[in-house]
Structure 1
Amino acid sequence: MTASSHPPRWLGFADAAALQTAAVAAIADAAEAALRLRGRFDIVLAGGTTPKAIYAACRGLATDWSRWHCYFGDERCLPIDDPERNSVMARAAWLDHVPIPAAQIYAIPAELGATSGAVAYARTLSGVGSFDFVLLGLGEDGHTASLFPGHAWGETADAADALPVFNAPKPPPERVSMSAARLSRARRVVFAVTGESKRTAVNAWRAGEALPASAISADNAIEIFCEQGLLAPSP
């Protein structure tokens, strides 16, 4: 799979708070549409500080939580209760505070190790159709989820839904990540990008460089929610 034929939509926001408010509204809109049309809402969650603030704000959404199904774009190979795990962060910030049934929160079993965890999560994802909403971040090097430059991204149509990641350039070295192809099977994909440290990656993406993030597509154009200052020329 290659990047979508739809060019990405770059949306600038005055600051991180405004971006987070817009992201929560986007999630709410997607949930409302999915519940109305299909009776369930399938969302993929990201790790990181920007998503954490978004999750905390999502606690107040007026929605039928019993029909939400939550997946994770990637996970670190750490003990199941390690605070550095994305699933632990998402639970503490949001999921433990709303009545989503526990059986509908699909944590990646990365504590099994990268290979076994990826096989197990691919099994969990089999039979799941297009996600309704995928939230992603952008790393300083252009990575997203745990898809890093110089590693396999799983862009092709025959790629596994979940990939083992070894020798990641940031700790821990072993991880499990959804493939670019699986993340791209989505009705809506939103990247949340904040912080001056992301400027180089933003510039590279906008210049058309091949980055893990740019390998993600969607049923429609992906949306990149970005602090406005990152879209201005470098000072």
Structure 2
Amino acid sequence: MKSTETVFHIYDSLPTLHKTLAYKVARDLDAAIAAKGSASLLLSGGNTPRPFLVQLAAENVDWSRVTVGLVDERWVDPESGASNENLVRSELLANGAEAATFVGMYRPGETAAEAVVGVEAAYKAFFPFDVVVLGMGSDGHTASLFPGRPELEGLLNGAALCGAAEAPTEPKERMSLSLHAIASAAHCYLHIEGGAKLAVYEAALDGDDVDIMPVRAVLNHPDIALEVFYA
């Protein structure tokens, strides 16, 4: 049984959502820094988080004490527009958060499967995480936890922090945080926008088969105090 209630925040405009989520994340980082001298932030890619990242970069945070990582990564060169690292570097790290330490996932010359050991070691250095910001696909995936994939079982139930994954669309090769890693976060946010994504979210709430909709593993996790930000 889920021991924490999901909090659903709804906003009447996207700019308000982006500004409010950025403020909330920034204050979480401030609190972690005040408590232990450092903070960690794990971010998602795609088009949805771009304006949120711009807002977050403008927040007054001691970024020199923040380590920024990724929820998942497409296995492409960081110069590619499809790269989540590229997104975070251009919209957050180059816009005001230059002092943050960035730890990416992509390793040139290695496949995602070959890079797992190195990425695991790098992310274990700042585990457990303070803040994780997730997105959700129209197929009910989150991070790179895709429906029906053979690696899903291990990523949902294993003790590793990350693993190689495969998407149904190009670029197929990915790296993803595991559910274990996501659940470590002191603060976990799901950022969704538009009526179509709301319908997916509501469908996820109506069932418990994680193989069909992996986001259910996050929604139903007993230890994840999830907050959903929607407009």
* TM-score (norm: length of structure 2): 0.88
Q: Is the 8 A contact 1:140 1:200 kept in 2?
A: no
Q: CA deviation at 1:208?
A: 3.4
Separation in structure 2 between the aligned mates of residue 149 and residue 199 of structure 1, nearest angstrom: 18
1:101 is displaced (CA, Å) by 4.2
2-structure distance, mates of 1:182, 1:15 = 31
Q: Summarize the alignment of residues 12-31 of structure 1 with structure 2, pairs less than 5 Å apart.
A: 12-31=10-29
Deviation per residue, 1:34-56 (Å, 9 max, x gap): 11111111000111222111111
Aligned to 1:33: 31
Which residue in 2 is equivalent to 1:215?
217
Separation in 1, partners of 2:40, 2:120: 16
Taking the aligned partners of 1:73 and 1:55, their CA distance within structure 2 comes to 14
Go from structure 1 to structure 2 and tell me whether the alpha carbon gap of 1:218 and 1:172 turns closer, same or farther (over 3 Å shift). farther
Task: Provide the residue aligned with 2:230 in structure 1.
Answer: 226
Distance 2:107 2:203 in 1: 31
SS in 1 for 2:61: coil
1:198 is matched with: 197
Counterpart contact for 1:135–1:190, Cα < 8 Å: yes
Aligned to 2:180: 181
CA-based RMSD: 1.9
The aligned amino acid for 2:198 is: R
1:64-213 to 2 correspondence within 5 Å?
A: 64-101=62-99, 104-111=101-108, 112-151=110-149, 152=152, 154-156=155-157, 158-166=158-166, 168-210=167-209, 211-213=213-215
Residues 218 and 183 of structure 1: CA distance in aligned 2, closer, same or farther (over 3 Å)? farther
Task: Provide, for residues 175-210 of structure 1, a one-character-per-residue CA deviation record: whole Å limited to 9, x for no partner.
Answer: 000111111111000011002331331121221333
Cα distance 1:96–1:218, how it changes in 2: closer, same or farther (>3 A)?
farther
Structure 2: 5+ residue stretches without partners: none
3-state secondary structure, aligned to 1:50 = coil
Q: Structure 1's 107 and 57: CA in aligned 2 closer, same or farther, altered over 3 A?
A: same
Where does structure 1 lack aligned partners over 5 or more consecutive residues?
228-235
Post-superposition offset of 1:68: 0.7
Following the alignment from structure 1 to structure 2, what is the Cα–Cα distance between the partners of residues 60 and 99? Answer: 8
Post-superposition offset of 1:7: 3.1
Read off the aligned partner of 1:108 and give its amino acid letter: M
